[in-house]
Structure 1
Amino acid sequence: MKVLFFSSENSHHDCKWINQIAIENEVEVIASNVNRVNQLNSGIRLHKILPPYSYKTRNRKETLDQIREIITNFQPDVIHSMYLFPNSIWANQSGFKPHVITTRGSDILVEYPNNYHNVTSKFKPLINRHFNKEGKLALENAQFVTCTSNLQKERIKHLTSSEVQIIRTGVDVAKIDLTLQKSESRRNESYTIFSPREPRLIYNLDIIVKAFHIFLSYCENAKLVMLSNDSDYSRKVKQICEGLGLKKNVEFIQELGFKDLMQQYASANQVVMIPKSDGTPNTALEAMLCKVPVILGTATYDNDLFNQKTVSQLSNSDHHTLALEMKRIYEMDKAKLSEQIENASNVVRNHANLCDSIEQIIKIYSAISK
């Protein structure tokens, strides 16, 4: 089968699906013309042609001609757009069918209801109306829509009558198991709390730092490991650490490769993430599979994966509440804690396995391309 994706070659989630599907199918990818790190497997042809999306028809004509030429040359059986805005709009305007759309929490739950907050043009109201109209049209014209959470599904159902199915990105259970088997199983000498989300304002890393500062009064040898990058927000988080005198207790690391990330999970005592909004975070699922206690914030999560038997979820995402939850897990009865992390690991194996997700997607392709 031939599949043409509209996607981002630097998206970890997108590339997991695309690389897996490309093992037994012929795949090409259309992506933004912005220079990004390519996480696609070698052998997958990448067309970096998409400019910033313009609401003006004349500004899109040349790109749509290029898209149609790629379609003519490749002759796909199906087009699959990752993200509603703007990838599915480009795909829909190409006129090709069948078309599958996969939404994420960041576009259908954040960009859409918040009127595309990154748009700063004086024509913002006009641009918002255009995006809303074209997004709904893409959903309505799609032969199938997938999403990664119940909340996304509810939102999509308000926008389209197209068939919608929850198919979570999933984690590569077999690969993680193999990686952990080959790695030395060890905990850090210090009691370690790992924050795996990237330094962005939406992920509330500053609150995690302040909570950790309080937690140190209960566990003096504790260590906090956080990701770092060259953003203003990352620098702000580091300044907060310095102001609280946490230089010796907080370790900032760069984004990790797969093997190192799994080892980081396995050596941690807690994994913490308290974003302002969220979907079905693979970071949480990976930590659960690695049998590490996970603390989540107040975002709405699917109860079949994230519940009181599998994770800890805060009632308030303030640093005092988080510090108390860190303390509760630190002091938790070992047998009860072991039961929770075993439950969590089994839930991921049974309900969020990448292989199962790919199998469902291939079945959809086969059904709509006949």
Structure 2
Amino acid sequence: MKLCFIAPGHSYHTVQWIKFFSQGKHDVYLIDVGHELNNSLIQLGVKCDDVTSKRKGWGALPWMVHAILEIRKKVSSLRPDLVHAFPVFPAGFLAAESLESSVPFVITGWGSEVLVAPWRSWMIRLCNRLALKRANLLTAESLPVLSSMAWLRGSPCNGVLIQFGAELDIFKPAENKESLRQQLNLPKDKFIIFSGRAAIPNSNLEVVLKSFHMFLSEFPNAILLFAYAYGNMEEKLRGLCSSLGILENVLFLGAVEYKQMAAVLSASDVCVSVPSSDSFPRIVWESMASGVPVVISDLPWRTGYIEDGVHALVVAPGDELGLFRALERLVSDTLLRTTLINNGLELVRARGDYLKEMKRMEQIYEAICRRSLSIDDILGVFQVYPSDVALR
């Protein structure tokens, strides 16, 4: 198949999705609508073009008109079998306004662009609706996001839950955690808490720091690792660490190479992922695959997947005391830690295997291109009905 993706080229999610299809039998092309291209895509040999080079200094409307005209020209020349855009805004909207009706079109929702942004901007809400009405198939990592997409669309549509998941050959439990820490120059005798979320307000990293401050008063032999691919909050977070007197217990790793991050995660004792909104955070799958118990926010995406006290510990977004108590339980309750680790490994192997999910998506692409996609229990395609119960 000749596949055209329209997505932000700097995104980790874009890289992971396209990587699978670029290494197979398909002709893969990316139209970048992000800020810069991830070097991994270049190394994979993906044919890339961008519509962002003239973005700087332009207003939103002139840039979108320019981008639509450029995408229309590129897709017309490429003549792909299928176009897949993510996230819904701006990529999905730009793609929808650029494509002829005969071109099969898939949109993936990532989370905040359908759960949060439409209620902050009427323009984004309108653009989302126009994009989603054009799609032949909606995909997302969680049912609340998928239902919200159908609600914004205003009508039922075929949808499928596809997980980004974890690469199980890369993210796996450490055979010898002490030896691994020595290789990574991490302290062997510390309780290590890992945070792998972006340094942006939605991640609630300040909440994590304040909870960690409480945790240190009870368990001073602990350190907190921050790894993040993007975001501009490090200076603010360092300032908070200084004011709390915990700077020497916090390591800011910044952007960490993919396999290195897998090693750091495996060497950790706990992972924390407590944003205000999200779809299905990839870091949760990766933590489970690494045999590391995880504390997560109580958000709609976990419905049907993660049970509190069985697969993870769940706290309310922004609840500093709740997060502290969850961390306290994980230190003191060995049986709980073992339960979460074992159940997490079982869950990720059954429902969060990156390769299995991408192979299923490949079958769905093929069915769409044959014009034979229908409700299918094997592929997991089902009719999604509008619902606003998940909106936050």
TM over 0.5: same fold? yes
Q: Any idea what SS the aligned residue of 2:238 has?
A: helix
Figure out how many residues of one structure are paired with residues of the other and give that number. Answer: 354
Which structure's relative contact order is higher, taking Cα pairs within 8 Å and 6+ residues apart? 2
Q: Of residues 38, 44, 47 in structure 2, which corresponds to 1:45?
A: 47
Shift of 1:313: 0.4
Does the CA contact (< 8 Å) of 1:180 and 1:262 recur in 2? Answer: no
Shift of 1:350: 0.7
Does the CA contact (< 8 Å) of 1:11 and 1:39 recur in 2? Answer: no
Q: Is 1:94 aligned with 2:102?
A: no
Q: Is 1:143 aligned with 2:136?
A: yes
Does the CA contact (< 8 Å) of 1:171 and 1:353 recur in 2? Answer: yes
| Corresponding residue number in structure 1 for 2:312 | 311
Distance in 2 between residues matched to 1:319 and 1:163, nearest whole Å: 40
Q: Any idea what SS the aligned residue of 1:146 has?
A: strand
Identify unmatched segments of 5+ residues in structure 1: 116-127
Shift of 1:201: 1.1
Q: Is 1:157 aligned with 2:159?
A: no
Does the CA contact (< 8 Å) of 1:193 and 1:271 recur in 2? Answer: yes
Distance in 1 between residues matched to 2:223 and 2:73, nearest whole Å: 54
Q: With structure 2 as the length reference, what TM-score do the two structures score?
A: 0.83
| Corresponding residue number in structure 2 for 1:171 | 166
Shift of 1:62: 4.7
Shift of 1:175: 3.1
Q: Percent identity at matched positions?
A: 23
Does the CA contact (< 8 Å) of 1:82 and 1:103 recur in 2? Answer: yes
Residue 73 to residue 235, structure 1, CA distance change in 2 (3 Å): same
Q: Is 1:84 aligned with 2:88?
A: yes
Distance in 2 between residues matched to 1:134 and 1:255, nearest whole Å: 32
Q: With structure 1 as the length reference, what TM-score do the two structures score?
A: 0.88
Shift of 1:33: 6.7
1:34 counterpart letter in structure 2: H
Q: Any idea what SS the aligned residue of 2:44 has?
A: coil
Shift of 1:55: 6.9
Equivalent positions of 1:26-45 (< 5 A) are 26-32=27-33, 34-40=35-41, 41-45=43-47
Distance in 1 between residues matched to 2:369 and 2:227, nearest whole Å: 42
Equivalent positions of 1:44-63 (< 5 A) are 44-50=46-52, 52=55, 56=61, 62-63=66-67
Distance in 1 between residues matched to 2:169 and 2:200, nearest whole Å: 30
Residues 265-311 of structure 1 deviation map (CA, whole Å, 9 limit, x = unaligned): 11111111211111100111101111111111233332333212110
Residues 331-359 of structure 1 deviation map (CA, whole Å, 9 limit, x = unaligned): 00x23421221110110111011112212
Residues 128-181 of structure 1 deviation map (CA, whole Å, 9 limit, x = unaligned): 34x43332122122111111111112212212322121112221123334x957
Q: Any idea what SS the aligned residue of 1:35 has?
A: coil
Shift of 1:7: 0.8
Q: Which moved more, 1:72-81 or 1:187-196?
A: 187-196
Q: Which moved more, 1:259-268 or 1:229-238?
A: 229-238
Q: Any idea what SS the aligned residue of 1:192 has?
A: strand
Distance in 2 between residues matched to 1:76 and 1:316, nearest whole Å: 42
Residue 132 to residue 287, structure 1, CA distance change in 2 (3 Å): same
Does the CA contact (< 8 Å) of 1:7 and 1:31 recur in 2? Answer: yes
